[in-house]
């Protein structure tokens, strides 16, 4: 099971780009990298997922270097409503055969200021 390490918190301002890097040195060959966003008093919400190189969707981009030992979530032009905790998850989430299940790391608390 790949353990993930993220910064505890980041501050930004409206309109800026926010980049959050997650380290996962023990990532397995078959592991995908998935990011979730969580607002206070709500369940986490899927943002983006990738395996290698770059993935982009309507809310974020995910950059994964060739060695896949880290990944960077990029939030373009953040607004106040992007203030949330962002979690990076790597590995099987509920596969009993895998012997272990995905656990959430500490997450990164992003505060967007006016």
Determine which residue in the list 41, 58, 66, 114 makes contact with another protein, applying CB under 8 A. Answer: 41
User: What's CA 14's distance to the chain center, in Å?
Assistant: 20
How far is Cα 49 from Cα 61, in angstroms, rounded to an integer?
9
Total residues in contact with another protein, by rule CB under 8 A: 30
Query: What minimum distance in Å lies between the beta carbon of 91 and another protein?
Result: 6
User: What's CA 45's distance to the chain center, in Å?
Assistant: 11
Closest CA to 47 of 80, 23, 12, 20: 20
Is residue 54 within the footprint of another protein (CB under 8 A)?
no
Give me the residues that bind another protein (CB under 8 A), please. 28, 30-32, 34, 36, 41-46, 49, 51, 87, 90-96, 98, 101-107
């Amino acid at each position: 099971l790949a353990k993930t390490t993220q910064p505890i918190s980041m501050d930004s301002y409206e309109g800026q780009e926010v980049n959050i890097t997650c380290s996962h040195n023990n990532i397995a060959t078959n592991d995908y990298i998935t990011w979730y966003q969580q607002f206070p008093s709500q369940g986490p919400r899927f943002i983006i997922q990738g395996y290698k190189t770059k993935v982009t969707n309507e809310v974020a981009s995910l950059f994964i270097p060739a060695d896949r030992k880290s990944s960077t979530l990029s939030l373009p032009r953040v607004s106040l409503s992007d203030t949330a905790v962002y979690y990076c998850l790597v590995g099987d989430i509920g596969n009993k055969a895998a012997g272990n299940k995905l656990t959430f790391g500490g997450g990164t608390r992003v505060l967007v200021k006016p």
